[in-house]
Amino acid sequence: MEVCEDFMGFVLLKVATADSITDTMLDKLSKWGVDLTILRGKGFDGASTMSGHISDVQARIAEKLPMAKYFTHCSSHCLNLVVVHCCKVQMVRSFIDSLQRLSAFIRGSGKRKSLQEDIFAQSSEKCETSFPDYVDADVVNDALHIGYGRQVLPSLCETRWLARVDAVSTLLARYSDVYETLTAISGSGGPSASEAYSLQMSMSSFSWLF
């Protein structure tokens, strides 16, 4: 059996109650030509409105379509929750918080952002690293390649921890360029100099590098 995943479309919900979501979802699937009699399962995130087993969306669908009784917690959401749980380690959380502060600092000023863009553009040193056998070098290099192609350190996604790989990949690929940006700002003597110096110290610490 080959699993096929198709995107059907976006739907605007005027009311976000379990009853409204259920009716809207089934109505749209029918209009899109989906035979609901062969529906056997559904997958949502863990929000009580969606996954509750008494009167919420997945329960209401099972009530209307008894054969669609199987419910699976969204795999992507589960993975995101695992990453969030792992990142409760203090060292990791401190790093993410500092990286978020660094990104906000650079992107919070047109002058600082422009300076970083210029430094990124001038840099020609690409990140080429060897990895141990147990590391998928292609995956890592792809992430670094994407990060190296960015023109500025991106902001961190507030809601999806897995999406923060963009910011981390850019930092890894452009570490020296980001540090050079902070060096230029801290040496300018302006009002942002002390903040830039503080961020430089963070980037130089063992916990950040680790």
Same domain assignment for residues 56 and 159: no
Same domain assignment for residues 63 and 110: no
Residue 127 confidence class, pLDDT cut points 50, 70, 90? low
Same domain assignment for residues 114 and 52: no
Is the pTM of the predicted complex or chain greater than 0.75?
no
- 199, 175 Cβ separation under 8 angstroms: no
Same domain assignment for residues 49 and 149: no
Same domain assignment for residues 59 and 93: no
* Residues 6 or more apart whose Cβ sits within 8 Å of residue 54: none
For 198-209, write each residue's pLDDT tens digit.
999 999 998 888
Same domain assignment for residues 50 and 116: no
Residue 183 confidence class, pLDDT cut points 50, 70, 90? very high
Residue 134 falls inside a structural domain: yes
Specify the DSSP element, H or E, that contains 70.
Answer: strand 70-73
Domain count for the chain: 2
Amino acid 49: pLDDT: 82
Residue 8 falls inside a structural domain: no
Amino acid 182: pLDDT: 93
Q: Which tokens go with 117?
A: 């863009």
Model confidence at 129: pLDDT above 60: no
Q: Average pLDDT for residues 57-73, to the nearest whole number?
A: 88
- 77, 147 Cβ separation under 8 angstroms: no
Structural domain span for residue 57 = 18-73
